[in-house]
Amino acid sequence: MRPALSILAAAALAAGCGGDGGERLSGDDLPRAPAALRLSSPAFIDGSRLPQRYTCDGAGDEPEVQAGTVPPSTSELVLVVSDPDAPGGTYVHVTRYGLSPRGDGSVDHGGSEGRNSAGKIGWAPPCPPEGDDRHRYVWSVYALRDRSGLDAGAEPEDVVGALGDGVLAAGTITALYGR
């Protein structure tokens, strides 16, 4: 199992990726995996600008993301969307777990949702502080050998901690957004 994660208390900051009283991940707490998943999205191309529709400056919709082919021994998919450029530490926009590895590979709906760094359950649209350089928004999907056993509403650090050593494959897709 991974060592305990270091969590930074959120400082009062302006905008949606700040001042909300929730918890944040510290540094690169997300685990690596022995195999790669190929993520894709009809909303954006990896490394491109996130359309405004998916941010606090637009409708705040959650973009659709697919995980592609997963290892046959996968029992669950886990999604973590994070902003590693947020002031005060990595801001978690959504965690979703208990996702079926069978079906169309969508990770933007289904399963159970945990708390985000705003302390709420579900999706928090990107909202970087005005004047910051563009932030990276990273969709990370993990294929787990065993079920995570997480209940709905889990804290971000609990979701990451549940990944443990059972990660069979992982993949990321990144979008950029600044205000």
* Assigned domain for 136 exists: yes
> For the whole model, what pTM was predicted?
0.83
Which residues constitute the domain of residue 42?
A: 34-177
Say if residues 168 and 78 touch (Cβ distance below 8 Å): no
Q: What is the pLDDT of residue 8?
A: 26
Strand pairing class (167-177; 48-49): parallel
Q: What is the pLDDT of residue 33?
A: 67
Which string of DSSP letters, residue by residue, matches 102-161? Answer: SSS-B-SSSSEE-B-TTS-BS-----PPTTSPPEEEEEEEEEESS---PPTT--HHHHHH
Say if residues 127 and 94 touch (Cβ distance below 8 Å): no
CATH number of the domain to which 158 belongs = 3.90.280.10
* Assigned domain for 81 exists: yes
Q: What is the pLDDT of residue 34?
A: 74
Q: What is the pLDDT of residue 165?
A: 84
Q: Is residue 178 packed enough to be buried (19+ CB in 10 Å), middle (13-18) or exposed (0-12)? A: middle
Q: What is the pLDDT of residue 36?
A: 87
| Residues with pLDDT less than 70, the chain | 1-33
Q: In the structure encoding, which two tokens stand for residue 29, read together?
A: 């707490």
* Assigned domain for 127 exists: yes
Number of domains in the chain: 1
Q: pLDDT tens for residues 128-171?
A: 999 999 999 999 999 999 999 999 999 999 999 999 888 999 99
Q: What is the pLDDT of residue 13?
A: 31
* Assigned domain for 106 exists: yes
* Assigned domain for 19 exists: no
